[in-house]
Chain A
Amino acid sequence: MNINLEIIGITVLWTFLFGYIIVASIDFGAGFFNAYGIFTKREHILTKIIQRYLSPVWEVTNVFLVFFFVGIVGFFPSTAFYYGTTLLVPVSIAIILLGIRGSYYAFETYGARSHKGYAFMYGLSGLLLPAALSIVLTISEGGFISMVDGHLILDYWLLFTSPLTWSIVVLSLSAVLYISAVFLTWYADQANDTPATELLRRYALIWALPTIITAGGIIYELRFHNKEHYEQILSFWWMFLISALLFIGTVWLLWKRKNYGVAFSLLIGQFAFAFYGYGMSHYPYLLYPHLTIYDSFTNEAMAISLIIAFIAGLALLIPSLYLLLRLFLFNKDYVSGKSEHEH
């Protein structure tokens, strides 16, 4: 593939989606572990560490998602027609879950005191959301949308009886819990909170296996669902191999209780290789077989102005994000709770 505006556009968007998947996974998983901790009476171990991380960054997570969907309509306006028409129900449900989650997070943190029922809802929504959002990836594989008299129809029956759908749902859930647990292990270790580190390390190891098994299973299922895509995936075998090696590296470090920071960066690498490998093998389709990045692309003038706006925006955002991370994520006093702040 040659480098052209279409490729630049989709790479930018794919990167935002990757960013969202990582930060949102940490957030969703943390909510689940928090609820699970309360349920199993281990809240004293986890709640503090989880809330310290989540408090300052919850809004930033949401923006990654907004970037992605605003960007995709900008670069590929036809996606508004294809995905907009067919995704009304799953995406509306996702918005409502995000709505309850985001707002109640603020209500809880800044307003009232903890409420158990709320913590469960928060944890549960963290599991339902990846399930609802991952449906989009399933649909993009094609076979679920048909054009009838100029109307696009999504076949829900076919969608919900397909093993592919459910494998992707399971992968999204286990990946969320795995990513989150690995990150929080590192975060708790930074805070010198040994009981929390140990518990989260155990969660990370528990969720490692289902993640890798379903990921492999999905590639296998694609062979029957979308042969063309399956063959393309095989041509990127080396990316998936690197991903698998990085996975082994993370698990090994966790097992040996060594270098949790390195373990987390290996995990980022693992998901990056798998995610970009998947993305590249999907090329050029945005929606099999209806839509490619070429026939849905915007005009050249808009593409260039979007890219310029994007570069200017990044020049503004990267220093700001760096400041945020330095103040909260990499500040030892803050992480370990030594410096107290009012909110």
Chain B
Amino acid sequence: MINEEAVYYSRILTETTLSFHIIYATLGVGVPLMIMIAHWVGIKKNDEHYILLARRWTRGFIITVAVGVVTGTAIGLQLSLLWPNFMELAGNVIALPLFMETFAFFFEAIFLGIYLYTWDRFENQRKHLLLLIPVAIGASFSAVFITIVNAFMNAPQGFELINGELANVNPIQAMFNPAMPTKVSHVVGTAYMTSAFVLASIAAFRLLRGSNHIYHKKALYLTMKVGLIFSLTSLIVGDLSGKYLAEYQPEKLAAAEWHFETSESAELILLGFMNEEEEIKYAIRIPYALSILAHGSPTAEVIGLDQFREEDRPPLYIHYLFNIMVAIGMLMIVVSFFYIVSKAKGWSIVESKPYRWLIVFGGPLSLIAIEAGWWLAEVGRQPWILRGIMRTAEGATTSNDVDLMLLLFCGLYLILGIGSVVVLTRMFRRNPVERELMERKGDVHR
């Protein structure tokens, strides 16, 4: 029944689509919140700079939304095209949040259209700001519902399998599965965090490239502040995720932490490198830390990979993904925290070139952390597509044409990736802030 080649290419194609989509999806969830904050601050302080910030971010946002919509449609259909057996089973239990996601997105799309085309239609700016609330809510709830589906794949519940037949399906129980609270808050929180740091990165880059306009400084301060808040919440939720994994998916935690033997007072292995004999070299070992991460107590017992059969273990390379994600998250907390403190104390080091370059790299780094996090989540669930119920290979299509489709989709993503970057740079380069501010000065309230 299983077509090994189809399974292999289906995995690669899904991975490619998700890796590409997640960049635009993350910005799609986070940027509306940033626009809303900027617009709100602008109205409250009666500061034209923040209003313009909201306007310019919105223009860029349209482009990322367009690519997000298109690739989202692709992944939505690919679920059925590449994983028909999985979707037949999952459709019976977890179709509800998928369906609700469509509504959330529809809601967002309608109001985004209205917001975009009504910048100067309202006498009262507050009314225009109100239009943004459904956009931000729709965007965030899209992420919530989709992440619920992913949480279900990690911790399926809300049904019974009696002789291979589904019975007693409870869609609500399936939605509120144990993986859901940590996963949803982590995904939404890191989307806000990443969007803030990406926008901060742009502001810092403008400041480095000649412009010394107060507009960019305001943008930088605002985004760093929001970025700090959400990187701290991501840290807290990350810790809770560890506790969730220890309880419900111990094999994922054990593989990510290279924890082989079940033991009490477990040490945490940071960084390091594994050679072919599965020996760990150059790692930092922190005593008791894994027990604390897993159960909040230094002496607690942490289940190791020895409790799982060879064929039920996730690949060990997820340790590297885990480290990349955590390291970037920590770095961003430090960078943004130090920036905010320095601003308050009047230290000028954060105005220096090297520090601004650090902030510039923070944007792409945050996106890398998002990628690493999703690879960790997906590869760490292997060999299961529905943990404990269905193996990935059993869920895949049997079609022989997946390799060709992979090529076609790679072409599409290449075009979309290049296209969006070119359009975005051209859009802002041709219409620099200074010029737009000048134009608006004489024509502020059209």
Contacts and interface: CB of A to CB of B under 8 A. Distances in A.
Interface of A: 55-57, 59-60, 62-63, 65-67, 69-71, 73-75, 77-89, 91-93, 95-96, 98-100, 102-107, 110-112, 150-152, 298-299, 301-302, 305-306, 309-310, 313, 316-317, 320-321, 323-324, 327-328, 339, 341-343
Contact of A84 (B84, B89, B100, B170): B84
Interface in B89-119: 89-93, 95-96, 98-103, 105-107, 109-114, 116-119
A310 B81 contact: no
Given A323-B114, A327-B118, 17 more contacts: A67-B102, A70-B95, A70-B98, A71-B102, A75-B95, A81-B84, A81-B88, A84-B80, A85-B399, A87-B81, A88-B402, A91-B77, A111-B63, A298-B91, A302-B92, A339-B121, A341-B121
A74 B98 contact: yes
B99 A301 contact: no
B99 A74 contact: yes
Given A59-B113, A85-B399, A106-B62, A95 B107 contact: no
B117 A111 contact: no
Q: Which of A63, A73, A305, A323 has the most CB of B within 10 A?
A: A73
A69 B77 contact: yes
A243 B422 CA distance: 48
Contacts of B71: 99
A92 B110 contact: no
Contacts of B416: 99, 103
Contacts of B335: none
B66 A112 contact: no
Nearest to B75: A95
Contacts of A73: 79-80, 87, 91, 95, 98
15 contacts: A56-B114, A60-B106, A63-B106, A70-B101, A81-B87, A86-B399, A99-B73, A99-B416, A110-B423, A111-B423, A298-B95, A301-B171, A320-B134, A327-B117, A341-B120
Contacts of B166: 299
Contacts of A298: 91-92, 95
Contact of A310 (B69, B72, B99, B423): B99
Given A81-B85, A95-B73, A88 B405 contact: yes
Contacts of B74: 95, 99
A316 B103 contact: yes
A111 B430 CA distance: 10
B102 A77 contact: no
Given A302-B171, A343-B117, A106 B405 contact: no
Contacts of B404: 89
Q: Which of A57, A100, A106, A112 has the most CB of B within 10 A?
A: A106
A150 B398 CA distance: 10
Contacts of A87: 81
A107 B419 contact: yes
